[in-house]
Amino acid sequence: MNHHNQELFHRHPKNPILTAADWPYPINSVFNPGATLMPDGTTLLLCRVEDRRGHSHLCVARSVNGVDNWKVDPKPTMPADPVHFPEELWGIEDPRITFVPELEKFAIVYTAYSADGPGIALAMTKDFVSFERLGLIMQPEDKDGTLLPRRIDGQWVLIHRPVNSTGAHMWVSYSPDLRNWGNPKLMLEARKGAWWDANKIGLSPPPIETPRGWLVIYHGVRKTASSSLYRLGLALFDLKTPERCIRRGSEWIFGPQEDYELNGDVDDAVFPCGYTIGSDGDSMKIYYGAADSSIALATASVRELLDWLDHH
Ligand code: BMA
């Protein structure tokens, strides 16, 4: 098998699948959606919607096949609530959804854009109609967070991306109660120099649980003279010790290429926050923000991603 230039992500011919024109109320753009399958098999996207002030809120879109005929909520599903949660002053962004069987609830980890910069907030929901906020769980600057679906050794597990003086790397923190977080461990470091993932990386969608480990799609940001180039890479982590990296790919696997990815409010960005996996346990639908302007869909196979990591 030729592993060179193997396409792992296949863009859907209907891309972009959701744009501002599909919204029932006036907005600027829609991008970076969290995704999940509901019990009836419907695909639910929790979309980041930027309004015409530049502030973001979250809005639900539902589709039977996960591709078209999206039904968008008639008004913001989860608006920012800066009166009760001052950290949401400038909006809420980039949700990652995890179904937590122990709680029989979905956890939504999202960016709260405070006056002191972006931090990480957590909310729980059963139905994506009402939301129970737990507030800020990581102070600024921190983002790209997600909760793992179950405790490990009695502790809840959060992947997150604080920014420090050496760069922006992925960390894991632990909590007994979802509110008090500590015991931070470095999970994956940005590379240095000319690498595509030098200096700044972050989790993209929640990790994919496989028998071989947590399969992580992460983004790397390459600063260029004209822009920031957002591309995706792969790494595998130990199931019981998620900060332990088993494999890390050297090349990126997906980057901006089509017009809707190259041109928009933020050129050259592909940014997935969610996926769904079919009943075969292998076929993925990955939903990503394209150039901070629209939502696009790519399909992939978990088996092919793992196989690629073995060879790269
Ligand atoms: C990152 C994220 C995303 C955004 C991307 C490109 O920092 O916070 O919200 O899509 O920048 O602008």
Query: pLDDT of 40-57, one tens digit each?
Result: 999 999 999 999 999 999
Ligand 1 atom nearest the C-alpha of 265 is 12
Mean of pLDDT values over 123-137: 98
Query: pLDDT of 88-109, one tens digit each?
Result: 999 999 999 999 999 999 999 9
Mean of pLDDT values over 215-232: 94
Confidence tier at 224 by pLDDT (50, 70, 90): confident
pTM, 2 dp: 0.96
DSSP states of the chain: ---TT---SEE-TT-S-B-GGG-SS--SEEEEEEEEE-TTS-EEEEEEEE-TTS-EEEEEEEESSSSS--EE-SS-SB---TTT-GGGTTBEEEEEEEEETTTTEEEEEEEEEETTEEEEEEEEESSSSS-EEEEEEEPSSEEEEEE-SS-BTTBEEEEEEEEETTEE-EEEEEESSSSS-EEEEEEE--B-TT-TTBSBEEE-SPPEEETTEEEEEEEEEEE-SS-EEEEEEEEEE-SSSTTSEEEE-SS-SB---SHHHHSSSSTTBEEEEEEEE-TTS-EEEEEEEETTTEEEEEEEEHHHHHHHHHH-
For the cut 50, the answer to whether the pLDDT of residue 112 exceeds it is: yes
CA 93 / ligand 1 centre spacing (Å) = 9
Give the start-to-end residue ranges of the domains of the chain.
15-311
Sign of the C-alpha dihedral, residues 185, 153, 155, 32? positive
CA 306 / ligand 1 centre spacing (Å) = 26
Could you tell me if the CB of 269 is within 6 A of ligand 1? Answer: yes
Average pLDDT, the chain: 96
Q: Which among 301, 285, 307, 175 is positioned nearest to 236, based on CA atoms?
A: 307
In the prediction, which pLDDT does 119 show?
A: 98
Q: What is the percentage of the chain residues whose pLDDT exceeds 90?
A: 95
Could you tell me if the CB of 268 is within 6 A of ligand 1? Answer: no
Nearest CA to ligand 1 atom 9: 94
For the cut 60, the answer to whether the pLDDT of residue 167 exceeds it is: yes
Mean of pLDDT values over 186-196: 97
Domain 15-311 has CATH 2.115.10.20: yes
Could you tell me if the CB of 93 is within 6 A of ligand 1? Answer: yes
Query: pLDDT of 274-302, one tens digit each?
Result: 999 999 999 999 999 999 999 999 999 99
In the prediction, which pLDDT does 2 show?
A: 41
Could you tell me if the CB of 87 is within 6 A of ligand 1? Answer: no
Nearest CA to ligand 1 atom 1: 271
Q: Which stretch of 3-17, 89-103, 197-211 has the lowest confidence by average pLDDT?
A: 3-17
In the prediction, which pLDDT does 5 show?
A: 55
CA 293 / ligand 1 centre spacing (Å) = 11
Residue 38 to residues 103, 123, 158, 205, Cα–Cα distance (Å): 16, 17, 23, 17
Mean of pLDDT values over 204-223: 97
Could you tell me if the CB of 32 is within 6 A of ligand 1? Answer: yes
Mean of pLDDT values over 14-29: 98
Nearest CA to ligand 1 atom 10: 292
